[in-house]
Amino acid sequence: MFKRRVPLTRLQKLREWVWPSMGLVRAGRYTMHRLMRIKDTTHKIALGLAMGLAISFTPVPGTHIAQAIFFTWVLRGNVIAALIGTLAGNPLTLPFMWLAAYKVGALFYALLGLPIDEMPAHFTMHNLTEELMKPWGLFMPWLIGGYILGVISLFLSYGGFYWLIRKARQQRILWKQLRVHQMSLDITEKHS
């Protein structure tokens, strides 16, 4: 009933995911409206969003959704909000998040005195397959750094998300009250 008349191809779906045809601002507004309609406490929604953002720092994108669902479920947050929070890890932000994760992991390894491989200047698919075959080289510091940054971002972003959601809900209640007031004025004017 609500499907497209002509289904999108895989390439078109990928393009829509990277750069929505409705525009990034409108897509952000739509996501915010969907988020405000979630029937849950402000705490649980903020926790879910923060968890989705935190998981985006890990260097295994195929598992971001599964990790976000699992950790949010364990912490009793809102799973839908966590899925929305994983959108923070998109093709525009992931390279910067992963570079920061690698740098933090390398610093952590250096503090422990553990050996670490240097990141190649030009990372190719061949480098990636080599590194996945020896996970203690680049991948483990990258993964550990991702989780360290994830925990830090969880604590830092939770407060901001909580404040934003609380304010947005207050504005929505105020808007509904004003709308009801205006409707009551319109009704009384018609009957007088």
Asked whether the predicted pLDDT for residue 181 surpasses 60, the reply is yes
Phi then psi for 105, rounded to 5 degrees?
A: -65, -40
Other Cβ atoms less than 10 A from the Cβ of 33: the count is 11
Chain Cα centroid distance, residue 81: 9
54 inside domain: yes
Which residue reads 């075959």 in tokens? 133
Contact 40, 78 (CB under 8 A): yes
Selection from 131, 121, 64, 125 nearest residue 94 by Cα: 64
- Is 23 in the same domain as 47? no
How does pLDDT run across 92-118, given as a tens digit for each residue? Answer: 888 889 889 988 998 998 898 887 777
- Is 62 in the same domain as 2? no
Based on the structure, what is the number of domains in the chain? Answer: 2
Distance CA 4, CA 55 (A): 32
pLDDT of residue 69: 93
How does pLDDT run across 2-38, given as a tens digit for each residue? Answer: 677 888 888 888 777 777 777 777 877 777 777 777 8
33 inside domain: no
Which residue reads 């839908």 in tokens? 80
180 inside domain: yes
User: How many residues appear in the chain?
Assistant: 192
Give the domain extent around 17: 1-28
- Is 121 in the same domain as 86? yes
pLDDT of residue 95: 85
- Is 8 in the same domain as 66? no
H helices present in 37-88, as ranges = 42-55, 64-74, 79-85
9 inside domain: yes
Please name the residues in contact with 44: beta carbons below 8 A apart, sequence gap of 6 or more: 76, 77, 78, 81
